[in-house]
Amino acid sequence: MIGRPRKLDVMAQIPGKMVLAATACLFVLLGTAGAQGGGELRFCLRTEPKTFDPLKVEDDAAVSIRYLTGGVLLRMNRQTQALEPELAHSWKVSKDGRQITFKLRSGLSFSDGTPFLAEDVAYTVQQLMDPALHSPTGDAFRSGPGTVATKIISSTQIAITFPTPVAGLDRLFDQVPMMSAHSPKKEMAVLGPFMVADYKPGATVLLKRNPNYWKTDAQGRKLPYLDSIRLDIQPNRDVEMLRFRRGELDLINSLDSEYFDKLASTSPQLVHDAGPSLDSEQMWFNQVSKAPIPAYKKNWFRSLGFRRAISEAINRDDLSRIVFRGHAQPAVGPISPANKFWFDSKLHAQAYSSDAALKLLQTEGFRLENGTLKDREGNPVVFSIVTNSGNKYRERMAVLIQEDLRKIGMQVNVVTLDFPSLIERIAQNFDYEAAMLGLTNVDLDPNEQMNVWLSSAENHQWNPQQKAPETAWEAEIDRLMRAQAASADAKKRKESFDTVQEIVVEQAPFIYLINKNALSAISTAVQDASPVILHPQTFWNAERLTVRAAK
């Protein structure tokens, strides 16, 4: 597949040196170099960033910082969902999907002044593919055994060859900031619009404008406009909201629907609903054969009729309307309709009908006795749903589901657990019956979900680490997932993955509940913000944002 940028940056057409010279001239003319006065943008990180090393990043806070500080070869435009050239002005993926060749812009340098060359790309890739690294970013490139070869063709051209084809290879580079092979400042030397200037653990991360950032706007003004970004570490959303209302914060990147409505009622100009996001909420039943739960319960959970009946008995419209106050859409399947290319448009959200659910259960031998549903052997249908504590929306969804299922005679116990306890149950000792969690999709490409769909994978939540697929439909999913990964043809890949989506909806190993909308709040002092559904929703164009000074 040839990675041709759909939307060409004007600057990309002009050789790098000329750009630099032109900008330098402009600055002299305008006499405003270094004093653009774009202001300071302030918002909250929900957790402590675990690392500033862009290759080791895994948590949301660190991802945000990486997005703001890291310079990548190509960038997926968060608005158009298309790939655009950044540090590389062009690239090419080989037919077999194993090799990618980048042509780099010349004359760029890191924030500390170290020049950026092809050997830095080689260094970054070698660091990233180090088997001892174990980072999600690196593992996403690992499609098979073998080592990665980098070949420096010239100081601005490099070819990277992978041992086996990597599906959606070019898009993955959106997550890989280039590191300097030589800078003494190591990962703190960056190529992105901002750089970390100060970090007070537990309190703030202060980003300052990178003076060596290469990009300029259409008028030739140096980007970014902002002088600095102040990130306060604040896990509590109530406090975040309080401080936003007081004008101490300029934006809330993902706003709770409750607060969305509260703000909307008083100052509608502050809130933005960008529509359904990629994130989904789902529940599933434990189908692990060695799980320490009664055999008759395992039989329910492995029965297709049972799972489908549950899916049918859940009122998704109510989940969306009551729990998310309308700022969510009933989910269809593994891919959110917001993922325009990969979503299978033949699929529709499961309609709600408790009568139909009950009928389906009766065909499976269940019967309703004095309001209690019993299975063939007379066991009353009682099970628990575990979910993580501290997420009030998930807890409320569980309460609604509990009530929906009570209507068909099931008794559901909702158990909220702290995250480590929950993970131990769902991923290590499998001591649970049903679980409810959300899935955050970082990338649009379904190849990222390989470790969810393969029956042998660790994250095949309902029944992970199968030696051989235990059911025919799981075997079929395995085959289709492998087929799409091996193909470089987007259309063929889409066909395979459409079938995967259809099988998953049909078999309901995951019962998809809703897709949340991307909600945000942005102060009117912030100019040129246009929130999108992809992370980072509000500050994806941070380099072009400005904040008016407070009056």
Closest CB to another protein among residues 109, 447: 447
Closest CB to another protein among residues 123, 199: 199
Closest CB to another protein among residues 196, 398: 398
Closest CB to another protein among residues 15, 292: 292
Q: 3-state class of 66 per DSSP?
A: helix
- The structure tokens listed for 42 are 């302030």
Amino acid at 543: E
> What's the min distance (Å) between Cβ of 158 and another protein?
24
Contacts of 350 (CB under 8 A, 6+ apart): 311, 312, 314, 316, 330, 505
Closest CB to another protein among residues 52, 540: 52
> What's the min distance (Å) between Cβ of 313 and another protein?
15
> What's the min distance (Å) between Cβ of 439 and another protein?
8
Asked if residue 65 lies in contact with residue 232, where contact means CB atoms within 8 angstroms, the answer is no
* Cα–Cα distance, 305 to 332 (Å, whole number): 18
Site of tokens 């998809």: 512
> What's the min distance (Å) between Cβ of 477 and another protein?
14
> What's the min distance (Å) between Cβ of 111 and another protein?
22
> What's the min distance (Å) between Cβ of 257 and another protein?
10
* Cα–Cα distance, 476 to 463 (Å, whole number): 15
Contacts of 518 (CB under 8 A, 6+ apart): 254, 273, 274, 275, 276, 277, 531, 532, 533, 537
Closest CB to another protein among residues 94, 451: 451
Closest CB to another protein among residues 238, 355: 238
Task: Give the total residue count for the chain.
Answer: 551
* Cα–Cα distance, 127 to 508 (Å, whole number): 40
The DSSP line for 266-296 is H-GGGEEEEEEEEEEEEEEE---TT-SS-HH
> What's the min distance (Å) between Cβ of 291 and another protein?
12
Q: What is the largest CA-CA distance in the chain?
A: 86
> What's the min distance (Å) between Cβ of 365 and another protein?
22
> What's the min distance (Å) between Cβ of 137 and another protein?
7
Strand partners, 546: 527
Closest CB to another protein among residues 105, 394: 394
Closest CB to another protein among residues 468, 472: 468
Q: 3-state class of 362 per DSSP?
A: helix
* Cα–Cα distance, 125 to 120 (Å, whole number): 9
Amino acid at 496: S
Q: Is the peptide bond before 469 cis (omega within 30 degrees of 0)?
A: no
Site of tokens 């009122």: 315
> What's the min distance (Å) between Cβ of 24 and another protein?
40
Contacts of 63 (CB under 8 A, 6+ apart): 57, 442, 535, 536
Closest CB to another protein among residues 23, 286: 286
- The structure tokens listed for 424 are 């131990």
Asked if residue 437 lies in contact with residue 298, where contact means CB atoms within 8 angstroms, the answer is no
Asked if residue 68 lies in contact with residue 539, where contact means CB atoms within 8 angstroms, the answer is yes
> What's the min distance (Å) between Cβ of 446 and another protein?
10
Exposure class string for 43-76: b at 16+ Cβ within 10 A, else e? bbbbeebebbbbbbbeebbbbbbbbbbbbbbbbb
Strand partners, 102: 91, 158
Closest CB to another protein among residues 153, 423: 423
DSSP summary character for residue 448: G
Closest CB to another protein among residues 94, 353: 353
* Cα–Cα distance, 198 to 202 (Å, whole number): 12
> What's the min distance (Å) between Cβ of 247 and another protein?
12
